[in-house]
Amino acid sequence: MPELPEVESVRRSLLPHLIGARIASATLLRPDICESFNARGQPITTRPANLLLGARITQLARRGKQLAVIADDGRTLCVHLGMTGQVLAQPREAVVTHTHVHARWTTHSGTTILFRDPRRFGGLWTFPSEEALRRARWSTLGPDALDASGPALSAAGRKSLRPIKALLLDQSVLAGVGNIYADEALFAARIPPRLRADRLAAASYEALAASIRAVLTRAIQAGGSTLRDYRDANGQSGLAARNHAVYGRAGQPCLICTLPLATAVIAQRTTVWCKQCQRAANIAPPPRIQAAKDLTYPHGGVEMG
């Protein structure tokens, strides 16, 4: 399940293969996984030129779980890995054959790039400019989860009746967190996943934002979480799953208190947490907002500030 750390690991592993490379061929084997747009934002038929044929790659960008391959003339290819998507780089003469390859590129330096995605929850989107991508697809995303901030999360959460876990999974609130790292971050911050978003104090959102940044950073350092499908561009699996404290550990002992970890479906996702360590009572509640008429001041004045 590629979430932010996995997509970032793919991006980093692609850099040496793609930066400065010129695209010698581009083939779309499954047209229905790609959508192309012109400068006016209208959908057009995908042609090799839209898939960066002839372009020189200058930049690989990422926002949340989405990757952007940007060329010197502005042409931009957006890649979303969905659940099982992979971008693989291999020598042109490689004999390894893959199933479910939906697009293939070659570079003038002799590298073949494949996009494969058995479950096809991922896809490709092409734009004439980086700006067009940002306008069409990235403007609906919240801040990148590596930049998670307490005030921004709090602003979204304080008016929401959803469980805090649902808030973390909402890409328009925060871009990049999926089911694995939502559970891990909530455990690290000792927040119960079902707690209503509007019941968290600003200080708790600050702690949660810090946990999100820490969990994601550590996972990137481990090369992402390989459960089954995830690989980076070189076919390497990631070791971050070794660090999971709760995800995939239902019924096993909590690493802090040894109580068996609980599991339930929350926000339509399998959720694992520790009922002992993650309790609302551990967390500062939000300040109660009282009606003005109920406020009394011993000295009869009105407090400012």
Partner DNA sequence: AGGATAGCCTGCGGGC
Partner DNA sequence: TGCCCGCAGGCTATCC
Q: Interface residues with DNA (CB under 7 A)?
A: 1-3, 64-66, 80, 82-84, 99-100, 118-121, 137, 160-163, 166, 169, 171, 178-180, 228, 267-270
Residue placing its CB nearer to DNA in the complex, 167 or 188: 167
Sign of the four-CA dihedral 268, 273, 275, 281: negative
Question: What interhelical angle do 202-221 and 4-18 show, nearest 10?
Answer: 40
Least distance in Å: CB of 23 to DNA?
25
65 carries an active-site annotation: yes
Instruction: Annotate 39-106 with DSSP letters as a single string.
Output: TTS-EE---TTTTTTT-BEEEEEEETTEEEEEETTS-EEEEE-TTT-EEEEEETT-----SSEEEEEE
Q: Which residues contact 179 (CB under 8 A, 6 or more apart)?
A: 1, 3, 169, 247, 269, 270, 271
Instruction: Please confirm, yes or no, whether 2 is among the known catalytic residues.
Output: yes
Least distance CB 179 / DNA (angstroms): 4
Closest separation in Å from C-beta 107 to DNA? 27
Catalytic residue among 11, 62, 65, 165: 65
Rounded least distance, CB 239 to DNA, Å: 18
Which is closer to DNA, CB of 11 or CB of 80?
80
Please report where in the chains the tokens 């919240």 appear, as a residue: 142
Phi and psi at residue 41, to the nearest 5°: 85, 10
The answer to whether residues 104 and 146 touch, using CB atoms and an 8 Å cutoff, is no
| Residue 61 CA: distances (Å) to CA of 38, 41, 180, 240 | 20, 20, 23, 22
| Active-site annotation holder among 3, 8, 35, 130 | 3
Number of Cβ within a 10 Å radius of residue 304: 4
Choose between 21 and 173: whose C-beta lies nearer to DNA. Answer: 173
> Among 278, 257, 305, 287, which Cα is nearest to 207's?
278
Decide whether 48 or 118 has the Cβ nearer to DNA.
118
State which residue, 228 or 293, has the beta carbon closest to DNA.
228
CB of 4 to DNA, least distance (A): 10
Helix, strand, or coil (residue 196): strand
Annotation marks residue 119 as catalytic: no
Q: Which is nearer to DNA, 57 or 166 (CB)?
A: 166
Q: How far is the CB of 180 from DNA (least distance, A)?
A: 6
Residue 38, SS3 per DSSP: coil
Active site (annotated) includes residue 3 = yes
- What are the residue numbers of the active site? 2-3, 65, 269
